[in-house]
Every structure is written in structure tokens, then in C-alpha cells.
Amino acid sequence: MDASAKTMDTATKSPVMSRKTKEKIGNAITYIFLLLLSLLVLIPFFWMISSSLKQDNQVFSIPMEWIPSKPQWNNFVVIWDQIPLLTFFKNTIFLSVVITIIQVLTSSFAAYGFSKMKFKGRDTLFLAYIGTIAVPWQAYMIPQFIMMREVHLTDTLWSLVLLQAFSAFGVFLMRQFYMSIPEELSEAARVDGLNEYGIYFKIILPLSKPALTTLAVLTFVNTWNDYMGPFIYLNSTEVKTIQLGLRMFVTLYDAQYALIMAASLISIIPIAIVFIFAQRYIIEGIATTGMKG
């Protein structure tokens, strides 16, 4: 309130300076606001970091000690010895990468069919896609599992790839983004003699970089964090994922919250890296695509 009053004030005094000053003050306010907001949002996360460096009996001590006086860096060493984290990481990376690639490819392809082409039964089929998103997995878990067993894929990573790589979610997401690309673009290309595949590869695909990246990030994150799928389908230690490992940890260490937090923290780091890298593309997208003309 005060700040806006001030800007108003300067604005009336010197109209030449006003825009710059206004922008600067505006930026400063935004900045401070964003800083406070991020800190607020991240409180639980700070708690995690702080706890991961404590001794177990200090985790819940009151009043809370945000910066541990004697940081226990050893916590991060101990956990690598206790469970085969490396194997778990390898499996999770495999799943996340393979599923993300298949998901992005097939759903952007299918979304083109659903958004830019007209054919019989299109809307019904699309409704079926959305409809299945609405059915809780717990309800069809058993039929699905029986099926997977029939083809002898349980206890393999491929079972999860097949289950999760063709989700309706990706198709829906890509379709919505394609809807916002003006129809005239593809019409013009059609007139120019480009066939549908040409339009998809030459026009739509380059335009949808932010959307594709978004889908990739979200799929990657979801696969990485999935617990129930791996829990039901995987039995052997060699194929287990990081989330199963984390749970194993929780039961193994019961009340040892410091170690649990350290393990959770390690499990998040790859996601953080992927996100920070990818978000550049989400934002840059348009600037590089010739959408301006």
C-alpha cells in the first residue's frame, strides 16, 4: 500500500522519471514478495534439510533448531551402505527416461490426431481417454495385474513401462496445447501442399516445445515418485526403485527420522536437476519459434 502510494507520488512529481522509477520499485516489491513466498513454501523442505543433519533424538526437539549446532554429515554416508541405493537409482532412472520418451512421442502424435484432424468417433474416443483418468487405479489394479501375469511380465521393469507409458493424461495435455495453436497455420500449410505428417513435423512440433517439455517434466517426476506401481509389480531387489528403497528405509529405521530425511533428500536431487534444466525450455520455447509472424 505504502509503496504504491509512493509511486503515485513520484509519478506526479516528475513524469519523465516516473516510468523507470515505477518499474524499479515494482520489481523490488515483486522480488521481495517472491522471496518471502518461496521461503514460506519451502519451510517443510528446510525442515527436511535441517533434520537430515541432526541426530535422531534432536529432530523433534522443541524449540526447533533450524541450523544444527553439530551437523551430522555422516548421515549421508551411512545410507549408501544400508540399502543398494545405486541399483535403485539405476532402475528408477531407466523407468523415468524410457517412460518419458515413449509418453512424449506417442501422446504428442495422438494429440495431433485428436486436435487437428476430424474423423468418425473422435470425440467418443477422446472421452474414453479422459474417462479412464477418472477411474481410481485401486479399482482396476487386480484385473491389470492378472493380465500382466498372463504375459509373464510381473517383476520386470517392462511391466511398469507398459502400464505407464501410454497414459491418457499425456494425450489430454498435448491436445489442449495444440488446441491453442491457430487452425489457420495448418490450413495454410495444407494449401501449400504439405500433408498431415509434414504439418505435424514441420509446423506443430516446433511450436509445441514448451508443452512437450512440460509433459516430459511432469511424466518424469510422476514416474520417479510413483510408489504403488512398483510396490505391486516388483518383488526382486535387483529391479526395485528408489521409492521402494525409501519405504524400505522407513521401516528399517523406524524412528530414525534424520536418516529418513537424508534418504528423501537424496531421492529428490535428480528431480531438482531435471526441473531446473528443463524449465529453461518451457520458458524459452516461443522466443525461438517464429510464432511472432
Partner 1 sequence: MKKSLGLIFTLILLMSSVLVGCGSKDTASSDSKDSKDGNEKVTLKVTVWNYDTTPEFKALFTAYEKENPNVTIEPVDIEAAQYDQKLTTMLAGNDDSDVLTMKNLIGYSNYAYRGQLKDMTSYAKTLDEDKYMGTLDYMKDDNGKIYALPYRNDFWVLYYNKKMFDQAGVKYPDNITWEEYRDLAKKLTSGSGDTKVYGAYNHVWRSITNSTAAAQVVGKPDALVKGDYSFIKDMYKTFLGMQEDKSVLDYGTAKSTNTTYASQFETEKAAMLPMGTWYMAGVLNSKNAGKTNVDWAIAPLPQKEKGKVKTWGSPTAFAVNKNAAHSKEAEKFVKWASGEEGAKVVAGVGVVPAYRTDAINETYFKVAGMPSDELSKKAFKTDFFNIEMPMDKNSAAIDKILNEEHDLIMIGENSVDKGLKAMEDRVKSEVLKK
Partner 2 sequence: MMLNTTPKIVTEKQRRRRNNLIAWSFITPNFLGFAIFTLVPVIASFVIAFMKWDAFSAPEFVGFENFKSMIHNQTFWISLWNTVYYTIGTVPLTLIAALLLAILLNKKVRGISTFRAAIFFPYVTSLVAIAVVWNMLFHPDMGLINDFLRWIGIDNPPGWTSSSKWAMPAIIIVSVWRGMGYYMVLYLAGLQSIPRELYEAAKIDGANTWQEFRHVTLPMLAPTTFLVLILLTISSFKVFDLIQVMTMGGPGRATNVLVYLIYNEAFVNYDFGFASAISLVLFIIVLGITIIQFRVQEKNTDF
Q: Rounded distance, CA 180 to CA 25, Å?
A: 35
Binding of partner 1 by 81 (CB under 8 A)? no
> Least CB distance from residue 17 to partner 1, whole Å?
55
Binding of partner 2 by 93 (CB under 8 A)? no
Q: Rounded distance, CA 148 to CA 102, Å?
A: 19
Give, in degrees to the nearest 5, the angle at Cα 183 between 182 and 187.
Answer: 130
Q: Rounded distance, CA 266 to CA 260, Å?
A: 10
Binding of partner 1 by 76 (CB under 8 A)? no
Q: Rounded distance, CA 132 to CA 39, Å?
A: 38
Contact 279, 225 (CB under 8 A): no
Question: Choosing among partner 2, partner 1, none, which partner's interface includes residue 57 (Cβ < 5 to 8 Å by kind)?
Answer: partner 1
Binding of partner 2 by 22 (CB under 8 A)? no
Q: Which of 76, 89, 145, 172 binds partner 1 (CB under 8 A)?
A: 145
Contact 253, 181 (CB under 8 A): no
When the beta carbons of 105 and 146 are compared against partner 1, the nearer one is 146
Q: Which positions from 169 to 188 touch partner 1 by CB under 8 A, shown as an x/- string?
A: --------------------
Residue 191, all three cell numbers: 494449401
Binding of partner 2 by 171 (CB under 8 A)? yes
Number of residues that bind partner 2 (CB under 8 A): 104
Question: Closest by alpha carbon to 223, among 94, 49, 60?
Answer: 94
* Contact set with partner 1 (CB under 8 A): 57, 60-62, 141-143, 145-152, 154, 231-232, 235, 237, 244, 247-248, 251-252, 254-255
